[in-house]
Structures are given as C-alpha cells and as structure tokens.
C-alpha cells in the first residue's frame, strides 16, 4: 500500500524554513549589534540615515559613453532620484528610518506565523473543519489589510524622514498617503484566501448537514 503524501506539503516545509532562517538571521544580527559599535538590525543602531526622494526625477543629458552606447536611432539620457543623507541622525530620524524596515518585517513575520498556525491546526484538526476555515480567514485579512497598512505606514515614515532632511519642501508625512505603492499581489492574494476560506466554510456546513441526515 503506497504512503499517502502530506497534503500540506510543500508549503509546510517552506514556511518553517523561512521562519527559521529569519529567526536565525535576526538573532545573529542582535548578537553582533551587542558587541559591534557599527552594527545595526533592521535600521536600529544605524550611524547614518539616507532616504531617496522617489517623487523627484533629475534628468541629465549626457554624451554617449562607450559603456552605454545607444543603438542607431536611439538616444541616451540619465534619470536619477536625489538621495538625502545625514551622518548624525536625531532620535526621531532614527526611529523613522527603523520604521521603514521594521513595519514590512513585522508584516512578513506575522503572515508567516499565521500560515504556520493554519498549517499546524489543519494537521491537528483536519483540513475541512470550521477551525481551519477561521484560521484561513484570519490569514486572508492579514494579507489584505496588513499589506495595505504596511504600504501606507512605510510611505508615511519615508516621507516624514525626507521632510526632516530636505529644506524648502512641501513634503510631509501625509504625503505618503498619496504616493504609497499599492501591493496589488498581496491584496489579490488576500482576497483569494478569503474567498477560499468562505468556500471551505460552506463546504464544512454542507458536510455537517449531510452527516446529520445520514
């Protein structure tokens, strides 16, 4: 008789592996930060802070150089975004810089932990149960709402940091509400997970009704 493959693979191994790697790297970074003066973890402890103004583009006309020779009929030009840095960041600037890295990290770790809880719960309680459908729904909402909030919070922190490093600018933290990158893939994935959770809940209800009539 052939062995039945685990229906939760390969996602189960993948989630555990990624969480293990993240935990190991974060732990190693914290240990290094304790004994090294120039070490930092997720933006915490950085001696210099830099931020790029992605809303501003500087065009520089250049003569073609050998490394970047355009094809016949094509033109060559350079577009770049200005970057602002400080070697002596204030406490607020340090916190804003850390927030741009910590917020996405928390979102990713939260999604992985919810996925791990879903996988372990499904292995314990079964795939087609109300508990599994509820855990799947929570993961879907985290991906949907969490990705959007992460994008907004990161953008606002970046704009606030940029405003503190740039003079004569109309940029503020609220500018991030208008210029944040919409995480379409994460939002669509969250919607798909929510739909699948609803389908699973309907299937569980139908199975319970069928069991009750037998």
Residue 126 has what pLDDT?
A: 82
The CA-to-CA distance between both ends of the chain, in Å, stands at 30
The token duo for 43 is: 């933006």
CA 116, CA 17: separation in Å to the nearest integer?
A: 11
The token duo for 167 is: 């003079």
CA 122, CA 28: separation in Å to the nearest integer?
A: 32
CA 150, CA 43: separation in Å to the nearest integer?
A: 16
Q: Which domain holds residue 175?
A: 14-208
Cβ contacts of 212 within 8 Å, gap of 6 or more:
none
Strand partners for 79: 59
Residue 145 inside a domain? The answer is: yes
Contact 150, 104 (CB under 8 A): yes
pTM tops 0.75: yes
Contact 152, 186 (CB under 8 A): no
Residue 88 has what pLDDT?
A: 86
Residue 8 inside a domain? The answer is: no
Helix (H) or strand (E) holding 77: strand 77-80
Residue 156 inside a domain? The answer is: yes
Tally of domains in the chain: 1
Residue 115 has what pLDDT?
A: 93
CA 169, CA 190: separation in Å to the nearest integer?
A: 37
For the chain, 214 residues long, the average pLDDT of each consecutive 10-residue run is 63 90 87 73 79 78 65 78 87 90 94 93 85 93 96 93 84 81 92 93 77 58
The token duo for 44 is: 């915490």
Strand partners for 83: 52
Cβ contacts of 30 within 8 Å, gap of 6 or more:
41
CA 131, CA 128: separation in Å to the nearest integer?
A: 9
Residue 214 inside a domain? The answer is: no
Residue 64 has what pLDDT?
A: 60
Residue 127 has what pLDDT?
A: 81
Contact 104, 42 (CB under 8 A): no
């Amino acid at each position: 008789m052939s062995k039945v493959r685990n229906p939760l693979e390969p996602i189960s191994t993948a989630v555990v592996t990624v969480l293990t790697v993240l935990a190991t790297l974060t732990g190693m970074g914290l240990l290094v930060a304790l004994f090294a003066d120039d070490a930092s973890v997720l933006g915490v402890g950085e001696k210099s802070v830099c931020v790029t103004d992605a809303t501003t583009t500087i065009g520089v006309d250049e003569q073609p150089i050998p490394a970047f020779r355009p094809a016949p009929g094509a033109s060559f030009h350079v577009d770049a975004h200005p970057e602002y840095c400080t070697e002596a960041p204030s406490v607020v600037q340090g916190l804003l810089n850390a927030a741009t890295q910590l917020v996405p990290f928390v979102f990713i770790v939260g999604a992985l932990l919810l996925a791990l809880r879903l996988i372990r719960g499904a292995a314990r309680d079964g795939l087609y149960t109300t508990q599994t459908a509820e855990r799947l729904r929570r993961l879907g909402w985290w991906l949907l709402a969490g990705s959007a909030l992460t994008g907004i919070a990161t953008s606002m922190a970046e704009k606030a940091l940029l405003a503190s490093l740039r003079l004569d600018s109309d940029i503020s933290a609220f500018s991030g509400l208008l210029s944040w990158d919409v995480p379409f893939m994460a939002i669509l994935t969250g919607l798909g997970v929510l739909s699948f959770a609803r389908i699973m809940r309907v299937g569980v209800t139908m199975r319970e009704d069928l069991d009750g009539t037998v």
